[in-house]
């Protein structure tokens, strides 16, 4: 029986392994993590992450061929294939701080694999890593292996949060990179056989190691670049009377451009786009390619500009001051259908408004109060380095309340900001919200999900991204 162990029971490790277990009943899958609360949650009715469809998949396999455990060493020792899906955040200190990927967690996982292994293993890079990481991992494993053979594969993950289960069930492609040696090819085949249980063969792409590593960074850079491109256009639309939704629709009809990923927004968020582009920028700089680095850096700059532009619009529309005014924030997660707040644009927007002394009343259907308070007190990049957490600042607490629904959040407010495109925000009773707000009542739709004409008829002053005022 093939035994798989995945180190890291996070947003990628958990759902990916649950789907492998579901689709491959003959394979035993163990997901291990150093975090006891996380593993306890995976073994409970309250899974540690919110992801549509995930609970059903986990319930079907857990205890049969899917196990969650903190006994990392035992499961690594027993496995034939070890996936490593630990976090690879941006470094906050030292060489490359603010750009380079922090591979501390990865390296410690690799050293542990070398320490505990008693049989040959395929080690799979599932985390997103800088190109040439496989070479470093190979060195660590080979120099500590005591005669055991390790084959390293790169198998980056392309799932998006909120649609992870569907993405895993029907991936556009699965990418496997390996050494072009007989042993490397054998390892690629072994991993391919796992995915072939449910993924059509022509969607399983095999490349050399470095192409696979670069492809992951390239895919995220291209996706983020599309959003920055459309967001840059949104500023031009606002300045000229064009409507960015019409522009996206028109250009998306060109089959060479395509219609997906052209929604203008308050800015992209999430744990990966910014981190991976910064990482790409750093790699280009280290390889003596400053022009290439600067090209990709601009994607992040436009994203920061979009968030700042949104805050400035709120403040300037409300007569250049939001001091002491209650502003409702609807949505805090970085996108709908997830409770994840890593690098959510809501953090920068809220901090910007708080800098202008606004009082915020925040509601998100999936983000608990303690996460919102924690996120608003953290420094940039610190979310994945819990030791650097700042002490609770009384001013943050006084300026922010977390509401239990959208009506409570908006009551007596001067303005409403939509920062996540949750479906429930489309169908709220906006007449009721208007009646309970201060006047003039403002709506700032950072996701372009609301019916502007309808809101204007009610009496709201409405600002949408990239639309005529
Ligand atoms: P995460 O923080 O949710 O999960 C990582 C887990 O690894 C944590 O639970 C942590 O406790 C555990 N861990 C760290 N070091 C460990 C060790 N030495 N031994 C055992 N467990 C350890 O991260 P994530 O969102 O799942 O992302 C993981 C990787 O996948 C990152 O490189 C990320 O860039 C990449 N990725 C993420 C997504 C996504 O949608 N979140 C998608 C594609 C790729
Ligand atoms: C993204 C990629 O889509 C995945 O393929 C990749 O595996 C993953 O990053 C990763 O490496 O972590 P994710 O961040 O989960 O997935 O979600 P996306 O749907 O890509 O959205 C990212 C951000 O862009 C969100 O804040 C979203 O609201 C924003 N976005 C997306 C827009 O502003 N406009 C769009 O048209 C699309």
The answer to whether residue 82 sits within a structural domain is yes
Tell me, using a 6 A CB cutoff, whether residue 28 lines ligand 1.
no
Strands (DSSP E) found in 399-460:
400-402, 415-418, 442-445
Q: What is the largest CA-CA distance in the chain?
A: 75
Distances (CA, A) of 279 to 282, 328, 329, 365: 5, 35, 31, 32
Instruction: Answer yes or no: do 159 and 248 share one domain.
Output: no
For ligand 1, mutation pick of 86, 110, 172 (most atoms within 8 Å of CB):
86
Taking 60 as the threshold, does the pLDDT of residue 237 lie above it?
yes
The answer to whether residue 28 sits within a structural domain is yes
Q: What is the DSSP letter of 182?
A: H
Containing 407, the helix (H) or strand (E) segment is helix 406-410
| In the chain, % of residues over pLDDT 70 | 96
Instruction: Answer yes or no: do 301 and 423 share one domain.
Output: yes
The whole-number pLDDT of residue 239 equals: 96
Q: Tell me which residue has tokens 């569907």.
A: 166
* 105 Cα nearest atom in ligand 1: 15
The answer to whether residue 149 sits within a structural domain is yes
Instruction: Answer yes or no: do 143 and 243 share one domain.
Output: no
Tell me, using a 6 A CB cutoff, whether residue 334 lines ligand 2.
yes
Alpha carbon of 33 to ligand 1 centroid (Å): 10
Taking 90 as the threshold, does the pLDDT of residue 419 lie above it?
yes
Q: Tell me which residue has tokens 């009646």.
A: 435
| In the chain, % of residues over pLDDT 90 | 94
For ligand 1, mutation pick of 7, 8, 134, 140 (most atoms within 8 Å of CB):
8
* 128 Cα nearest atom in ligand 1: 32
Taking 80 as the threshold, does the pLDDT of residue 401 lie above it?
yes
Query: Which of 120, 130, 64 lies closest to 281 in space, CA to CA?
Result: 130
C-alpha 269: how far from chain center: 7
Domain boundary among 199, 230, 246: 199
Query: Band of the pLDDT at 381, cuts 50, 70, 90?
Result: low
Tell me, using a 6 A CB cutoff, whether residue 428 lines ligand 2.
no
Mean pLDDT of the chain: 95
Residue-range definition of the domain harbouring residue 89: 3-199
Q: What pLDDT digit, counting tens, does each position of 140-183 carry?
A: 999 998 889 999 999 999 999 999 999 999 999 999 999 999 99
Those residues with Cβ within 8 angstroms of residue 115's Cβ, 6 or more apart along the chain or in another chain: 73, 144
Instruction: Answer yes or no: do 389 and 450 share one domain.
Output: yes
Q: What is the DSSP letter of 402?
A: E
Query: Band of the pLDDT at 394, cuts 50, 70, 90?
Result: low
Instruction: Answer yes or no: do 195 and 225 share one domain.
Output: no
Query: Band of the pLDDT at 40, cuts 50, 70, 90?
Result: very high
Taking 90 as the threshold, does the pLDDT of residue 133 lie above it?
yes
The DSSP secondary structure of 235-289, one letter per residue, reads HHHHHHT--HHHHHHHHHTSTTT-STT----S---SSSHHHHHHHHHHHHHHTT-
The answer to whether residue 212 sits within a structural domain is no
Q: Which CATH number characterizes residue 194's domain? A: 3.40.50.720
Q: Whose CA is nearest to atom 6 of ligand 1?
A: 8
Instruction: Answer yes or no: do 343 and 436 share one domain.
Output: yes
The whole-number pLDDT of residue 385 equals: 61
Containing 401, the helix (H) or strand (E) segment is strand 400-402
CA dihedral 124, 129, 130, 132 (to 10 degrees): -10
Instruction: Answer yes or no: do 329 and 267 share one domain.
Output: yes
Taking 90 as the threshold, does the pLDDT of residue 383 lie above it?
no
Helical pair 209-240 and 273-286, crossing angle rounded to 10 deg: 120
The mean pLDDT of 26-54, rounded to a whole number, is 97
The whole-number pLDDT of residue 1 equals: 81
Instruction: Answer yes or no: do 57 and 98 share one domain.
Output: yes
Alpha carbon of 246 to ligand 2 centroid (Å): 22
Q: What pLDDT digit, counting tens, does each position of 282-295 carry?
A: 999 999 999 999 99
Instruction: Answer yes or no: do 180 and 231 share one domain.
Output: no
The ligand placed nearest to the CA atom of residue 7 is 1
CA dihedral 130, 72, 389, 93 (to 10 degrees): -30
Query: Band of the pLDDT at 378, cuts 50, 70, 90?
Result: confident
Tell me, using a 6 A CB cutoff, whether residue 343 lines ligand 1.
no
How far is 466 from 448, CA to CA, in rounded Å?
Answer: 9
Instruction: Answer yes or no: do 142 and 283 share one domain.
Output: no
The mean pLDDT of 206-220, rounded to a whole number, is 98
Query: Which of 332, 443, 385 lies closest to 102 in space, CA to CA?
Result: 385
Coil, strand or helix at 329: strand
Q: What is the DSSP letter of 62?
A: B
The answer to whether residue 214 sits within a structural domain is no
Beta bridge partners, 425, equal: none
C-alpha 449: how far from chain center: 21
Query: Band of the pLDDT at 119, cuts 50, 70, 90?
Result: very high
The answer to whether residue 469 sits within a structural domain is no
Tokens of 185: 């090819």
The whole-number pLDDT of residue 332 equals: 98
The whole-number pLDDT of residue 390 equals: 52
Instruction: Answer yes or no: do 340 and 299 share one domain.
Output: yes
Q: What number of residues does the chain have? A: 469
The whole-number pLDDT of residue 387 equals: 45
Structural domain total, the chain: 2
The mean pLDDT of 51-80, rounded to a whole number, is 98
- Kindly tell me the sign of the dihedral angle through the C-alpha atoms of 105, 108, 114, 118: negative
Tokens of 283: 């790699």
Alpha carbon of 159 to ligand 2 centroid (Å): 9
Query: Band of the pLDDT at 388, cuts 50, 70, 90?
Result: very low
Instruction: Answer yes or no: do 130 and 65 share one domain.
Output: yes
Alpha carbon of 252 to ligand 1 centroid (Å): 33
The whole-number pLDDT of residue 59 equals: 98
Tally of CB atoms within 10 A around 204: 19
This prediction's pTM: 0.96
Query: Which of 69, 85, 258, 262 lies closest to 168 in space, CA to CA?
Result: 85
Specify whether the CB–CB gap between 267 and 305 falls below 8 A. no
The mean pLDDT of 376-384, rounded to a whole number, is 76
Taking 60 as the threshold, does the pLDDT of residue 102 lie above it?
yes
Tell me, using a 6 A CB cutoff, whether residue 7 lines ligand 1.
yes
The answer to whether residue 421 sits within a structural domain is yes
Taking 80 as the threshold, does the pLDDT of residue 219 lie above it?
yes
The mean pLDDT of 372-398, rounded to a whole number, is 69
The answer to whether residue 209 sits within a structural domain is no
Where residue 93 falls (left for φ over 0; alpha for ψ -120 to 50; beta otherwise) is beta
* 340 Cα nearest atom in ligand 2: 15
Query: Which residues are tagged catalytic?
Result: 272
Tally of CB atoms within 10 A around 420: 29
């Amino acid at each position: 029986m093939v035994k798989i162990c995945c180190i890291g029971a996070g947003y990628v490790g958990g759902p990916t392994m649950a789907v492998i277990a579901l689709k491959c009943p003959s394979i035993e899958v163990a997901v291990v993590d150093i975090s006891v609360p996380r593993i306890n949650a995976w073994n409970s009715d309250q899974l540690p992450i919110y992801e549509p469809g995930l609970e059903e998949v986990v319930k079907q396999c857990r205890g049969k061929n899917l196990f969650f455990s903190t006994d990392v060493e035992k499961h690594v020792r027993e496995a034939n294939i070890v996936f490593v899906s630990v976090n690879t955040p941006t470094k906050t200190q030292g060489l490359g701080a603010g750009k380079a990927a922090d591979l501390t967690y990865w390296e410690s996982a690799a050293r542990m694999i070398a320490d505990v292994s008693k049989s040959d293993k395929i080690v799979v890079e599932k985390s997103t890593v800088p190109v040439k990481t496989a070479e470093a991992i190979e060195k660590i494993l080979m120099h500590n292996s005591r005669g055991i053979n390790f084959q390293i594969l790169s198998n980056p993950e392309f799932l998006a949060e909120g649609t992870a289960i569907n993405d895993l069930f029907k991936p556009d492609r699965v990418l496997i990179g390996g050494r072009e040696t007989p042993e490397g090819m054998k390892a690629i085949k072994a991993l391919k056989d796992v995915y072939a249980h449910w993924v059509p063969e022509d969607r399983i792409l095999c490349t050399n190691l470095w192409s696979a590593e670069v492809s992951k960074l390239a895919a995220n850079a291209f996706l983020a670049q599309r959003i920055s491109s459309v967001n840059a256009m949104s500023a031009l639309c606002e300045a000229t009377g064009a409507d960015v939704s019409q522009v996206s629709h028109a250009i998306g009809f060109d089959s060479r451009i395509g219609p997906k990923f052209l929604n203008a927004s308050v800015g992209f968020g999430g744990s990966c786009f910014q981190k991976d582009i910064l990482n790409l920028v750093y790699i280009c700089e280290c390889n003596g390619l400053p022009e290439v680095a600067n090209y990709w850096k601009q994607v992040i700059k436009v994203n920061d500009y979009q968030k700042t532009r949104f805050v400035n619009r709120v403040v300037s529309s409300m007569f250049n001051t939001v001091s002491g005014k209650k502003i409702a924030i609807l949505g805090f997660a970085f996108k709908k259908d997830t409770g994840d707040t890593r690098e959510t644009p809501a953090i920068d927007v809220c901090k910007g408004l708080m800098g202008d002394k606004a009082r915020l009343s925040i509601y998100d259907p999936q983000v608990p109060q303690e996460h919102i308070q924690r996120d608003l007190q953290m420094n940039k990049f610190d979310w994945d380095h819990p030791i650097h957490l700042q002490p609770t600042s009384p001013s943050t607490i006084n300026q922010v309340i977390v509401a239990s629904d959208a009506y409570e959040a908006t009551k007596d407010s001067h303005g409403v900001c939509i920062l996540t495109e949750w479906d429930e925000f489309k169908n709220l009773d906006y007449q009721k919200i208007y009646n309970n707000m201060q006047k003039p009542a403002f709506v700032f739709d950072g996701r372009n999900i609301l019916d502007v004409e309808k809101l204007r008829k009610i009496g709201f002053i409405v600002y949408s991204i990239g639309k005529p005022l």
